[in-house]
Amino acid sequence: MTAIDSLPPLREVIASHGLSARKSLGQNFLLDLNLTAKIARKAGDLTGCDVLEIGPGPGGLTRGLLAEGARKVVAVEKDRRCLPALHEIADAYPGRLEIIEGDALEVDLTGHLTGPVRVAANLPYNVGTELLVRWLTPDSWPPFWDSLTLMFQREVAQRIVARPGSKAYGRLALLAQWRCDAKIVLDLPPQAFTPPPKVSSAVVHLTRLDAPRFEANPKTLSHVVAMAFNQRRKMLRAALKGLAPDIEDQLRAAGLEPTARAEEISLEGFCALARQLHGT
Ligand code: SAM
């Protein structure tokens, strides 16, 4: 019998540990272990990797990650009601699951993970987006992780992989695609979750590149992009006028039309503008 077979079905785990889903914690659980195994496989080859899982809940995805061969899973969960269920999984996989009780936005993971590290999570939407932005904007590159495999509302997933000219294109797409390959690898209907959320979901897989696609100072790029999309309907010369008194000249020097709108500018164009403004 394998470790995963020795554990009870997730519905039983939820009933025996009284894990009624809490809206305030964004709890929409995945109870189908075939599905959680499929999501774990989307994270790539886990052999020899440490996996950081945020929000394991009753542990469906955690079981998938362990069964798929992760060397070790470090799981950060805020809801202490879930801890006994997670300890049962840790007992079934001795030495391979470390459970950290806490808020993923606050815990310090220094010393808990050894590379290569993959991150996998099915998280509440707001926490997921905030963590994604943090993981994409570390103080130095490369970051501590090699890949991120994250569940989002489908609309947010589309914003991460969006191309110029689309409504979904904006800061998230540029931040993600500047230093990563990003793609949607799985679509999930609301009924895949218990309880079902109101909207569809999608899993996004991001693989980090060793170096950015185009040279740019990270802070300048982030600032320019934020300003440009804050007023996405305005022409760049108006949206960015606070950046430099001669912004029209700067835009032209970077090869951009001052009358263009943020939505039309490629990643390469934004990087050229960031270099121009940064004086590099
Ligand atoms: N991974 C489980 C699954 O797929 O069934 C649970 C997913 S549920 C959408 C989100 C999980 O994240 C819940 O277990 C919730 O308690 C946890 N969570 C919510 N906010 C969190 C935070 N700030 N830090 C850590 N865990 C959090």
Q: Where are the domains of the chain?
A: 10-208, 218-278
Question: Would the CB of 65 count as within 6 Å of ligand 1?
Answer: no
155 neighbors 209 (Cβ within 8 angstroms): no
Q: Is the pLDDT of residue 2 over 90?
A: no
Q: Ligand 1 pocket: which of 30, 79, 105, 188 to mutate (most atoms <8 Å of CB)? A: 79
Quick one: fold of 218-278? Helicase, Ruva Protein; domain 3 (1.10.8)
**Structure confidence at residue 125 (pLDDT):** 82
pLDDT tens, 44-56?
A: 999 999 999 999 9
Q: Ligand 1 pocket: which of 77, 81, 108 to mutate (most atoms <8 Å of CB)? A: 77
Whether a cis peptide bond, with omega within 30° of 0, leads into 190 is: no
**ipTM of the complex, rounded to two decimals:** 0.99
280 neighbors 219 (Cβ within 8 angstroms): no
pTM beyond 0.90: the answer is yes
Question: Would the CB of 62 count as within 6 Å of ligand 1?
Answer: no
Distance 179 CA to ligand 1 centre (A): 27
pLDDT tens, 137-150?
A: 999 999 999 999 99
CATH of 10-208, one of 2.120.10.30, 3.10.20.30, 3.40.50.720, 3.40.50.150: 3.40.50.150
pLDDT tens, 98-153?
A: 999 999 999 999 899 998 999 999 998 889 999 999 999 999 999 999 999 999 99
What six digits make up the tokens of 187? 């679509």
